[in-house]
Structure 1
């Protein structure tokens, strides 16, 4: 009997050791951090709008310059619990004013905080993992030019087992990858640029693609529409045909610029803020997004 108890104890210790190793936060290497370039704030502004930072981190009713006040506070109510959006303003105490470029790169590309904790994927680092390190350096430079906003936001309200943050290490092992979603080796330059914007900083798939039981993205139905993360309703299918109907690339680009559909309807819901962000991009980037959406495999509703 004693021998069996010892065996069980050893197995338990081995299991705990394996869990500890598999769930360790895995940040960028020292060489990767050292290789980050010096950021350029002018280029970083475009990255900021492509990434939709203000859509989550500014106040829900923010307009004009208030969209640059990134004090957080919105609450995202999901099936996994309530996620409170943090302050990412330039405040050194309550925001990210004291962060280095490496800190931001680890957060966006690896989902790891400066103090070595996992971030929940309500922060879309599964898309940001595909970003170029230079773009993140540029974004850090731009964020440093924005106002500091005092006030640290409350933590998330999550039940068991989702409140065990360490367990996210297993989730990241399974679902976090910097690889592109589509294999487009011979893509035209515009399509390649659009792929980068959609799959990376634009994180379009986070809303427009359905998810599995673990909250993972169902890449077999990439951009094929999904239930809304909050409340009722559905997020449209933006693959060719279906919800987009016979929209041309020009129609898509114009919609992202103006908010008007080909039949003179206007953007609504959560897409309002996304469209406002897209309108801040250079015209060629909106055209590139439209070009990429035109080659995405069609998914039926």
Structure 2
């Protein structure tokens, strides 16, 4: 009897392992040759700035935002991630990558070796992008300098360091649906919605997350604890920005100055360095979209402890 019980248990374990392996398998957005595309370098530069590539991938503590040798430490509740080298260095960067490999990485979070990237890389937003825009970004990156230097491995605690588990995470928190324009809205509003939700990946920082690191859908863009562990990321729906005009938001994205005359600080300074490079019409489009968001209540910010004495 006990032998039968053990056999049944073994079969159940093998079946469960098979289901896990199937569900967690990396899915390639593109395989083989990609459709012919004439690269638009000017658009690629716009996408580079909208995506904030330099914010994470530029070599820290130096002024040139095109030196994409990586190395920035990105803290999280699961450990510390280190932004990789995405320069044109053939050994340490992406100099040998094909366009299809780049599209798979950006839009589906899958490496050329067929492994999942951790979602510290915001492909959960980038997957909404148009493939042509990603191809233009790839072409633009090819014009930037190669930077030698291998970035150290991530420091992530078990079991979150198992890349195969990310496949299950994607099933839970990444729907894979493309961006669809709203026919009832203006072209400017749709452009803003596209930039904010795809390359701009605003929700990645400005939304609270659950215990597994997934964005809480009902509180999207409603702010919350800084995922890097220090401070609070503000609510950017009309719950907090109700007194801001679209022009106020656009001016902020261009200059980093708030309507009260104060200036932005912290990690947002890196974001403004990117958004300030965008065409004025794209900044206006993002402002138009953000101004249209309904007020959403986010998590309550803890009160600051008063100093002793």
**TM-score bucket of the superposed structures, by smaller chain:** over 0.9
1:57 and 1:86 in contact (8 A); partners too: yes
- Once the two structures are superposed, residues 250-282 of structure 1 have per-residue CA deviations (whole angstroms, 9 ceiling, x without a partner) of 011011111211111112111111011011000
Q: Does 1:5 align with 2:6?
A: yes
- Aligned pairs (5 A) from 1:185-196: 185-196=183-194
Q: Does 1:39 align with 2:39?
A: yes
- Once the two structures are superposed, residues 142-168 of structure 1 have per-residue CA deviations (whole angstroms, 9 ceiling, x without a partner) of 000000000111111111111111111
How far 1:170 moved relative to its partner? 0.6
TM-score, reference length from structure 2? 0.92
Q: Does 1:298 align with 2:298?
A: no
How far 1:185 moved relative to its partner? 4.2
How far 1:284 moved relative to its partner? 0.4
How far 1:61 moved relative to its partner? 3.2
1:36 and 1:133 in contact (8 A); partners too: no
How far 1:42 moved relative to its partner? 2.0
CA gap of 1:7–1:36, structure 2 versus 1, over 3 A, is: farther
CA gap of 1:232–1:52, structure 2 versus 1, over 3 A, is: same
Match of 2:67 in 1: 69
Q: Does 1:28 align with 2:29?
A: yes
194-203 or 76-85, which moves further after superposition?
76-85
Match of 1:209 in 2: 207
- Once the two structures are superposed, residues 119-174 of structure 1 have per-residue CA deviations (whole angstroms, 9 ceiling, x without a partner) of 00000000000000000000000000000000111111111111111111111111
CA gap of 1:34–1:236, structure 2 versus 1, over 3 A, is: same
2:30 and 2:100 in contact (8 A); partners too: no
1:45 and 1:142 in contact (8 A); partners too: yes
Aligned length: 297
- 3-state SS of 2:147 partner: coil
2:205 and 2:227 in contact (8 A); partners too: yes
- Once the two structures are superposed, residues 212-232 of structure 1 have per-residue CA deviations (whole angstroms, 9 ceiling, x without a partner) of 111111121111111111132
CA gap of 1:87–1:168, structure 2 versus 1, over 3 A, is: same
Query: Unpaired runs of 5+ in structure 2?
Result: 299-309
How far 1:241 moved relative to its partner? 3.8
Tell me, in whole angstroms, the C-alpha distance in 2 between the residues paired with 1:180 and 1:95.
Answer: 28
1:36 and 1:102 in contact (8 A); partners too: no
How far 1:205 moved relative to its partner? 0.3
- 3-state SS of 2:74 partner: strand
Query: Unpaired runs of 5+ in structure 1?
Result: none
Tell me, in whole angstroms, the C-alpha distance in 1 between the residues paired with 2:258 and 2:228.
Answer: 24
Tell me, in whole angstroms, the C-alpha distance in 2 between the residues paired with 1:38 and 1:92.
Answer: 23
